[in-house]
Structure 1
Amino acid sequence: MDNKMPNQVGWGERVAYAMSDFGCNTIFQIVGTYFLVFCTDTLGVAAAAVTGLFAITAIIDSIDGVIWGQFIDRTHTKWGKSRPYWLWFAIPFAIFCVMAFTAPPLSETGKVVWIYIAYIGAKVLYSGINIPVTSILPALTSNPQERVTLSTVRQFFGNMGAAIFLPLTLPAVGLIAGIFDKGAKDPSTSATGWFIWAVILGVITAACLLVAFAGTRERVVTKDSNRAVPMRESVKALKGNYPWAIIIFINFIYWGGFAVRSSSLPYYFKYVLHNEALGSLVLAGTVITLASTAMVPFVARRLGKRNTMLLGMVGTALSQLVLYLADIMNGNVAIILTGIVLYFISYGLTGALIAVMLSDAVDFGEWKNGVRAEGFVTSFSSFSAKLGMGIGGMVLAAVLAAGGYAASSDGTQTASALNAIRMGFIWIPFIGYAASAVALLFNNIDKLEPKMVADLTAKHEREAAEVSDAEA
């Protein structure tokens, strides 16, 4: 495919598009990693109560993604179908994320109600801005290689957001607590520290999403671009669309394992290794992902998209086994760091290609069934990922509760609680990553792509000519 197609996207727009993921990850990675520990160790809410929250959120996530997808397919504005959602929901999303790290002076029941409202609101609005991040990709360009580049730049910036702010979080909370909450016994649990840090991240998030809105353009126009695609027609895009089914399953199981690993990481380094500083260093290792993400376009050209993604998934699974080896060797730091480096390298090869595979599924649905429904097809990505992360969070909270975990100021836990933390940090993620790799073996979209793209390009040119003739 000629990379000099008329809809080639310039670097300014590539960066603007990438700011959408940078903005999302700036605060939502913090929610995914620290929300549970904030609830248990700062608010004093029992882990069992948070289990119910994750269960309810998983149910909501099974509905709201598809609803957002329908909204996108029915949206027709001068800005396009997907872009407006960044403008409309950037600030509300940031507000709910800040609420998730706010400790209001309420009773225990009141605190539970508060975190339910905050977390559910943040998750629902996350779908409202993140589904467009994926659904807009096939509208930005029809060039397959350019899609890989766009997704890679987006993932690079998204990982950079995590690389910058995840390792900064605990030190920043402690620093802020030292200035504004000097009476806090444990700065890492300071309600004031968490709130101010969340406000800072919320402002950055909203600003990035508004930059993404202002700097992108939906340029791939088809007969479905300027009309509201009804639900009954959108469903036809999924008929026989096995590349879509595979990537949706992967989204569920892979991100479920990711969520469990992220949420259990603070517990693992605090209570199993008694080394929170090492935990912050490990989170700083996210920067390694930037290098492997940057290599995705080059590796994908040689190995293909599927095999590149498969290499990353196998690597993440193996990294968990390395962490287990470190664990049975009394937390050997060198082996832990080896496992972490392998994890971040492998994760970088995987994350950038999921959105590309979903764009391929949009094309496949149009190619096979004649219906292009970007919002509906890609909405299941958010649905499956959020469902997986919601269930993952619920599973972790349940495992911790079953192990008898309770917040401890002296850093000690019972043997059963420590085993529960190990289960969350090592074994549940391993199962998710390994199952994802097996599922990906059945996706052969790379072999179909040349003919599919050629057929769709000819189809779109015919449709554009018909529109021009009608306007003339």
Structure 2
Amino acid sequence: MSKKQTGFWNTPLTGSLVKSPDVKLPEMLIGYFIGPFGALLSSGIFTSFLNKYFTDVLKLDTGFLSVLQLVSTLLIVAANLIVGQLIERTRVLAGKARPWVLLSALTLSVSSVLMFIVPFEGTAKMVWIAIAYNLYYAVAYPIYNTANSTLIPVSTRNSQQRGALASFTNVAGLGVMGVGSMIFPVLVSNVMKEDQHMWFLVMLGVAIFSALTIYLQFKFTRERVTEELLGEGSGAARVKTASMGEQLKAVTSEKWWWLIILFYLAFQCSGAMKNGSMSYFCQWVIGAAGTIDWGMAQTILAVLGAIPMAVAAAVVVPLANKLSKRVVVMVGMLVGVAGGIIAGLGGGQIVPVAIGVALKCLGSAPAAYLILAMLADVIDHIEFKSGIRTDGLTMSIYSSVMVAATPICNAIFMAMLGGSGYVAPPKDAAAAAAMTQSAAVQSTIGISYIWIETVAYAICAALMLLWTVERDLPAEQETIAQRKKQCKG
């Protein structure tokens, strides 16, 4: 593409502010931390509190919520696959993922507030919630999350720089989870409570913040690999867009692709189960002792979990560059298993649970920070073997797992709660404060919050024993570069 493009994607409004051929700090900080943080903020809040909002504020039936989230999963997966292919076929000066990031500034921010308007009662309220829920999770979120995930492998071929970008992006994701589990619990328990109007005002502010930060992300990102494949400014041959069937054949025939997808499936789904049950655990297990406010208990657990992850953010990438992603992630998973056992044996007491949660979060840090870089390594390996890029399909599946894990696990958790006899607290504050749940409910919540993730981490550690794709990656990337030079000739 030697001819310079003009039009909408070459205006000051849509042009990238990133000009350097190498990834620099402003791109990392704004494009891969501040932007994703704002975009994912509503999701972080939803992960921790959407179930509680549905059951305790809107008083929706757990059976309805379980069915809604299971059925919605089909739409979510389909939407992610469709968006992935739309991204793969987008060819403009701005890249193939960045235009969809820009679109999501509108779709994600608008859809995130619809569940908090609810102008109806009865059956109409359930219909409204079903539509609003799917507009967010099956339309807006797939658009953003698939595009945001795709930015990592197309940002640069430098594996170390990709690792840093993946770390920044995942720190942003963990940051919003921290907001949802640290700041929001105190806000909910002391200010918002069951006041639907207050929930709407707070989420409206979050939506405006999201729109602004997503636009900043669009301006401070650049797709260097896409430019290379399109031949922007280099005279290289235009890359052929692989069909979905070709991409599917390339990825499903690659063992490393299956291994990393299975790893992420166990990691993400167990984390979604933990996050969805956290507020219930704090209120009905730790709070049952009556020695600490449940909102404060959740904040303490979140803070003690966030501190080791924040510390790990500074050392994970350097350690991975020195020891390999495989070793660092595997050791982290084993540390997480140890933390889960301590928390599980803590009997619902805040001190041992907090210690165990802190260790578990420390152990999860390498996987959380490096998963996108590991996926990018697999995509390069598949390009080396098959000659085609599979960013669109791989990242749509990654995004499907990320997004669908929450509703699936929430649906399972809602079904488990209903089956164990969970009773929603009454609106009267005094009566709600005096209320307790049965031993069966407390056991169900404990399994969901602690033990499911602990077992999953043990499985993930075993999978990492088999992970060796990065060993030959530098030579494979050099071969890819040689092919590009031959195309120029």
TM, length-normalised to structure 2: 0.86
Change (3 A) 1:347 1:284: same
Shift of 1:209: 1.1
CA–CA distance in structure 1, aligned partners of residues 167 and 239 of structure 2: 28
CA–CA distance in structure 1, aligned partners of residues 21 and 330 of structure 2: 29
| Alignment correspondent of 2:200 | 195
Deviations 1:246-299 (A, max 9, x none): 111122221111111001010011111114111122223324322212211111
Shift of 1:311: 2.2
Deviations 1:208-229 (A, max 9, x none): 1111101111112225976543
Change (3 A) 1:355 1:414: same
Q: Contact 1:155–1:351 (CA<8 Å) still a contact in 2?
A: yes
2:326 aligned with 1:306, yes or no?
Answer: yes
| Alignment correspondent of 1:422 | 446
CA-based RMSD of the aligned residues comes to 2.0
1:219 to 216, 224, 228: 224
CA–CA distance in structure 1, aligned partners of residues 98 and 147 of structure 2: 7
| Alignment correspondent of 2:126 | 112
Q: Contact 2:87–2:97 (CA<8 Å) still a contact in 1?
A: yes
Q: Contact 1:33–1:262 (CA<8 Å) still a contact in 2?
A: yes
2:472 to 448, 454, 464: 448
Shift of 1:234: 2.4
2:277 aligned with 1:264, yes or no?
Answer: yes
Gap runs ≥5 in structure 2: 1-19, 231-236, 288-292, 426-431
CA–CA distance in structure 1, aligned partners of residues 438 and 47 of structure 2: 25
| Alignment correspondent of 1:71 | 86
Deviations 1:321-371 (A, max 9, x none): 1111112xxx33221221121122122221111101111121111111111
Amino acid at match of 1:203: I
| Alignment correspondent of 1:31 | 46
| Alignment correspondent of 2:317 | 297
Shift of 1:239: 4.7
Amino acid at match of 1:312: G
CA–CA distance in structure 2, aligned partners of residues 267 and 194 of structure 1: 19
Amino acid at match of 2:212: A
Q: Secondary structure at the match of 1:168?
A: helix
CA–CA distance in structure 2, aligned partners of residues 284 and 394 of structure 1: 27
Amino acid at match of 2:406: M
2:406 to 364, 389, 405: 389
TM, length-normalised to structure 1: 0.89
Shift of 1:313: 2.2
2:283 aligned with 1:278, yes or no?
Answer: no
Matches within 5 A, 1:128-167: 128-167=143-182
2:135 aligned with 1:121, yes or no?
Answer: yes
Q: Secondary structure at the match of 1:222?
A: helix
Q: Contact 2:377–2:470 (CA<8 Å) still a contact in 1?
A: no
Matches within 5 A, 1:294-373: 294-327=314-347, 331-373=348-390
Shift of 1:420: 1.5
Q: Contact 2:84–2:395 (CA<8 Å) still a contact in 1?
A: yes
Shift of 1:391: 2.2
CA–CA distance in structure 1, aligned partners of residues 207 and 338 of structure 2: 35
CA–CA distance in structure 2, aligned partners of residues 56 and 433 of structure 1: 28
CA–CA distance in structure 2, aligned partners of residues 294 and 91 of structure 1: 33
Gap runs ≥5 in structure 1: 1-5, 178-186, 467-472
CA–CA distance in structure 2, aligned partners of residues 200 and 432 of structure 1: 36
Tell me the percent identity: 23
| Alignment correspondent of 2:268 | 255
What is the count of residue pairs matched by the alignment?
446
Shift of 1:132: 1.5
Q: Contact 1:252–1:389 (CA<8 Å) still a contact in 2?
A: no
Matches within 5 A, 1:1-16: 7-16=21-30
Amino acid at match of 1:189: E
Amino acid at match of 2:257: W
